[in-house]
Amino acid sequence: MKIGILSRKPINDSTRRLREAAQARGHHLRVFNTLGFSLHVEEEEPSLYDKNKPMPRLDAVLNDLVPVRKKKKKSKKKKTV
Domain extent, residue 6, equals: 2-63
Distance CA 33, CA 55 (A): 12
pLDDT at 77: 63
The answer, as to whether pTM is greater than 0.85, is: no
**For each of the chain's 81 residues, which pLDDT tens digit applies?**
999 888 887 778 888 888 899 999 999 988 888 888 888 888 777 888 888 898 888 898 888 766 666 666 666 666 665
12 in a structural domain: yes
pLDDT at 24: 94
Do the domain assignments include residue 26? yes
User: Is residue 76 assigned to a domain?
Assistant: no
**CATH code for the domain in which residue 31 is found:** 3.40.50.20
Does the residue 33 lie in any domain? yes
pLDDT reported for residue 78: 64
Please indicate, yes or no, if residue 69 is contained in any of the structural domains: no
Radius of gyration, alpha carbons of the chain:
19
How many domains are contained in the chain? Answer: 1
